[in-house]
Homo-oligomer: A and B are copies of this chain.
Amino acid sequence: MDIVKARTMPGVMELLPGDQIAYNRVRDTIRATFERFGFLPIETPVMELVSVLLTKSGGETEKQVYFTQSTGARAQGKDPDLALRFDLTVPLARYVAEHEPDLAFPFRRYQMQRVYRGERAQKGRYREFEQCDIDVIGRNDLDLRFDAEIPAVIDQLFTQLDFGPFTIHMNHRKILRGLFAALGIEAGERQTTVLREVDKLDKRGRDAVLATLSEDEYGLGGPLADKLLTILNTRGPGAEVLATLRGLDVSHALLDEGIAEMAVVVEALKALGVPADHWCLNLSIARGLDYYTGTVYETLLDDHPELGSICSGGRYENLAGHYTKSKLPGVGISIGLTRLFSKMQELEIVSSSDSTVQCLVARMDPELDHETIALGAELRAAGINTQVVFDGGKLGKQMKAADKAGIPFVAILGPDELTRGSVQVKNLRSGEQQDIPRAEVGARLLAQLGETS
């Protein structure tokens, strides 16, 4: 038989079991945190009808879509009428519009599934990657306090994940747009162009952006650009930044509205107990332009700002205008888990040292196979993830393999132990070995696993 080279397509992440376990632990933590805040799970099919998925005319999105067609449909020579989702927002919009009568609003959902983009393969870009999203969707309106729950989720999540110190940067689109209007930079194309430059502040630095904005085509003029950048450069504790904004010599109704809304969010954040050093108001955060209309969020690892935002989102005015006439405002965030995990691996912030297997029952004497099998069953019944060796070479080799696999305990049952009614348990982390009565092994291991985890 001809051998076909076993390989995956480029641009996907496939993990060895040890890494997959580490990945799953991150994913489980995200899920548990989402559920802790009362978000409900949904999952949608990987394929959507093209007519539903691609409601926007052309543009960047459509260039990156994976179209799909069954053998039968291909044979008919038609264009594909199915495509893989490229984010979780469009499926959410479709889901809420389709199931609206059956959902309770505000609808709080989490969704953790893979999405697909036919990008050019390059380092750090994935064609398949998992997104972890939460959104709260209101019908007609949505209380501002939900905008404070979102950073509370981010805070709890990244505290749990323990990827190092982080800061949630918040801003409000009405504050931004109000400031622009107050400074005479009118809405529409001009604000968009300027905002796009402002978004580069962190990357290019103040001087470079100032130089660009002072150019003729931006029509701001040096002093105005300078003033704008000075204001947008403000970042700090919520109450302080709001005070600064209130004290500015510029004013506009939209700016006032933004400040008032942000003040509600800041107060709720305090009530939620989000530590003051985990978040700030940062007036330079813009997060794109078309979609968000209120609070916006970015999350940065303090020690790794080069990664950019690892969790972002904001408030939008209407989720599903393409699919329903209902007005569905929402607020949410998204985590690109595949990229985040791969970066955390590169930085050695996550490691793959611990197996899901908690105890290996070694094979000391083939005559005792039925006893070791039974011991394995006893440990499982006690709640221990257990693997039994049927053929693993000498005991030392089995120990080494267990240690390499990240299994913390090895149970050994030889003729002596059988006579004594005990089991030798070796802790591979500490090297300690104990003789434990067989009836107690499960409970003892469970207690020790509880201590170390």
Interface of A toward B, CB cutoff 8 Å: 1, 3-9, 12, 14-17, 20-21, 24, 35-38, 40-49, 51-52, 55, 62-74, 80, 82, 84, 93-95, 97-99, 102-104, 106, 108-109, 114, 116, 118, 128, 143, 145-146, 148-149, 152, 156, 267-268, 270-273, 320-325, 355-357, 360, 369-371, 373-374, 376-377, 380, 383-388, 390-391, 401, 404-405
B3, B14, B62, B371: the one within 8 Å of A324 (CB): B3
Known: A6-B94, A55-B4, A67-B68. A385 touches B38 (CB 8 A): yes
Closest residue to A97 on the B side, CB-wise? B6
CA distance A5 to B100 in the complex (A): 13
What residues of chain B lie closer than 8 Å to A401, measured between beta carbons? 104
Q: B43 contacts A143, CB within 8 Å?
A: no
What residues of chain B lie closer than 8 Å to A380, measured between beta carbons? 36-37, 156
Q: A21 contacts B45, CB within 8 Å?
A: no
Known: A45-B9, A320-B6. A109 touches B17 (CB 8 A): yes
Specify how many copies of this chain sit in the oligomer.
Answer: 2
Q: B271 contacts A373, CB within 8 Å?
A: yes
Known: A109-B17, A146-B390, A377-B272. A6 touches B323 (CB 8 A): yes
Q: A71 contacts B67, CB within 8 Å?
A: yes
Q: Closest approach, in angstroms, between the C-beta of A41 and any C-beta of chain B?
A: 5
Known: A69-B66, A145-B390. A17 touches B3 (CB 8 A): no
Known: A3-B323, A9-B82, A387-B37. A128 touches B72 (CB 8 A): no
Q: B17 contacts A152, CB within 8 Å?
A: no
What residues of chain B lie closer than 8 Å to A37, measured between beta carbons? 380, 385-387
B3, B8, B73: the one within 8 Å of A322 (CB): B3
What residues of chain B lie closer than 8 Å to A152, measured between beta carbons? 377
Q: B68 contacts A62, CB within 8 Å?
A: no
Q: A38 contacts B323, CB within 8 Å?
A: no
What residues of chain B lie closer than 8 Å to A273, measured between beta carbons? 374, 377
CA distance A149 to B4 in the complex (A): 32
Closest residue to A11 on the B side, CB-wise? B45
- Cβ contacts A to B, 21 pairs, < 8 Å: A3-B325, A6-B52, A6-B93, A6-B97, A6-B98, A8-B48, A8-B98, A12-B45, A14-B43, A15-B43, A17-B40, A20-B42, A24-B41, A35-B357, A36-B383, A38-B360, A47-B66, A66-B69, A69-B80, A104-B404, A268-B373
What residues of chain B lie closer than 8 Å to A38, measured between beta carbons? 356-357, 360, 385-388
Q: B145 contacts A9, CB within 8 Å?
A: no
Closest residue to A63 on the B side, CB-wise? B71
What residues of chain B lie closer than 8 Å to A95, measured between beta carbons? 6, 14
Q: B4 contacts A118, CB within 8 Å?
A: no
Q: B103 contacts A16, CB within 8 Å?
A: yes
Q: Closest approach, in angstroms, between the C-beta of A260 and any C-beta of chain B?
A: 16
Known: A1-B321, A69-B66, A104-B405. A45 touches B390 (CB 8 A): no
CA distance A52 to B12 in the complex (A): 15
Please give 17 more A-B residue pairs, beta carbons under 8 A apart, in addition to A40-B356, A64-B70.
Answer: A4-B51, A5-B323, A6-B52, A7-B52, A12-B47, A14-B43, A17-B109, A20-B42, A21-B41, A24-B41, A63-B71, A66-B82, A104-B404, A104-B405, A145-B373, A149-B388, A268-B369
